[in-house]
Chain A
Amino acid sequence: MTALAVRDVQAGYGPVQVLTGVSLDVSAGEVVVVLGANGAGKTTLLRAISGMIPVQGSVQLDGAEVAGRRPEDLLRLGVAHVPQGRGTFNDLTVDDNLRVGGFTRSADEVAADAERWLDLFPRLRERREQLAGSMSGGEQQMLAIARALMSRPSLLLLDEPSLGLAPLVTRDVFDSIQSIVAELGTGVLVVEQNANLALGIADRGYVLETGTVVSSGTAAELSADDSIRRAYLGV
């Protein structure tokens, strides 16, 4: 089943058009990676899908048109977005970050789910009462993902989860993304500069250049493509 279908989406900031017509799909339980250089429009694409900026074109969730809806409505329709720079609530504790992540759900569900993600990320359990802003980058990224999962999304948008993280920590984060998908069947759309790692956990991928999709395929196909290897894999 297609969780997300994006068709000819255009978006930008004021007079600056960043996305000139992007189409892509994410199915339930599938990890899809978007590769691209700086300025290709990767972050803008995620912001357009989660309703943070105005869009033209079509964005469908489970078949229903949602383009133009606001982030707080889209969250209720199953979209969770971990923005670039993680978007944790720095002056709230880890516990409060998780509670606020489950804002739209009942207290019982929130308590049960918080335990579940604290099990997945034991580092967070040790720091439950600590302010999010005082944690390391890797811990904040884990918290940001756990916080997003608290809303039980059907679609998880991740913006550069490896940004500013040490390679080993990045691997941990990607491993946990993989186990989450396997467990929950969530569709994941991940934007990433670290193409090696991202293709390692992805089913499929798209390559974005100057606001449009220039290439797409399975992770294996993209990894084998010479031009992509030169441009994004550094080999």
Chain B
Amino acid sequence: MELFIQRVFDGLQAGAIYAILALAIVVIFRASGLLNFAQGELAMFTTFVAWAMLDAGLPWWAATILSTVVGFIIGAVLYRLLIVRLGGPAGNPLAIVIVTIGLFLILNDGAGIIWGSNPAKVPRIFGDGRVEFLGAGISVQVIGLLAVLAVLVVGFGLLFQRTKLGLALRAVTSNQESAALVGIKVVSTLMIGWGLAAAIGSIAGTFTASQNLSVDTNMMQIALIYAFAAATLGGFDSPLGAVVGGLIIGLVSELVVGYVDIIGPDLRLLPGFVLVLVVLLVRPQGIFGSAQVARA
């Protein structure tokens, strides 16, 4: 029983990271109908920025918050300087996907050149404490991570459904041309969307680093693959879906690897993706995704 509880929390811990990164992917997708393959590397880059601040003497929590702000600015500037020139949501999606993959490589190598490719040490953001839960020792880190995730999901749900900015983001996604015709400043709105996504991503990055106790240039790559799986599972247009999808994939991976002998750590990626495949066969739009409706 203790081992089971332990594995559940390990799964939730990994899943929460995928969930946060998936949330970033979903925010960009909802705001602009695009996929940003550099989302993970952006998170890695801002995590190095956080590490640099830590190295300069700031406490880790302050560095995390500041790097989130830096992430917002990088995301917004990236949209304005790069994606707008490629036509934004109205541009050729393939060209934009290729550019985000290029950005992936640039950020990865760039971080290596600036900060070196050896892992740098970072502390746990919520400290090393543990609490007893049903006989298992659960780290304060996991509880803090899940709390941050809950705040993010509620916050973004409210943002999209209850605020004028959320309405503008949804309108721009739905019909960019009409959005301009109702007076929405499309470019500024999308800059905010990309900025928010990069900010959420940097939270995923600093938490990953907190969990690994180190930051290195390749730390977000597997997480990005899981995050795409999570967004697919939950539904690309649903923030709640992204989070539920991330948690499910984290849990399933951890439990299957833990309890099914033939699937060892080498096949760690397999169970999550089999699950995604099965769900998509039954429900192509994902668990919480909305099916496209259009009546001619």
Contact = CB atoms under 8 A, between A and B. Distances in A.
Interface string B157-189: 000000010011011011101111111111000
Interface stretch (A12-20, A74-82, A167-175, A206-214): A74-82
A87 B178 contact: yes
Contacts of B185: 72
B295 A72 contact: no
Contacts, number: 82
B118 to A, nearest CB: 47
B225 to A, nearest CB: 28
Given A90-B294, A134-B295, A75 B182 contact: yes
Max chain A C-beta neighbours (<10 A), residue from B170, B179, B180, B186 = B180
A81 B173 CA distance: 19
Contact of A83 (B171, B178, B295): B178
Contacts of A87: 175, 177-178, 181
A100 B167 contact: yes
A96 interface: yes
Given A89-B175, A92-B174, A133 B182 contact: no
A90 B174 contact: yes
Contact of B181 (A50, A91, A92): A50
B290 interface: yes
Contacts of B282: none
What's the interface size class on B, roughly?
A: 20 to 34
Nearest to A75: B183
A133 B180 contact: no
A150 B181 CA distance: 12
Nearest to B178: A87
A83 B181 contact: yes
A90 B291 CA distance: 12
23 contacts: A71-B181, A72-B180, A72-B184, A72-B185, A72-B186, A81-B181, A83-B177, A89-B170, A89-B174, A90-B293, A90-B294, A91-B293, A92-B171, A96-B171, A100-B184, A103-B167, A103-B168, A104-B183, A134-B295, A135-B295, A147-B182, A150-B182, A151-B183
The list of the 9 closest CB pairs from A to B, nearest first, reads: A75-B183, A87-B178, A89-B174, A71-B180, A104-B183, A100-B171, A133-B293, A133-B294, A134-B293
Interface of A: 50, 52, 70-72, 75-76, 80-81, 83, 87-92, 96, 99-101, 103-104, 131, 133-137, 147, 150-151
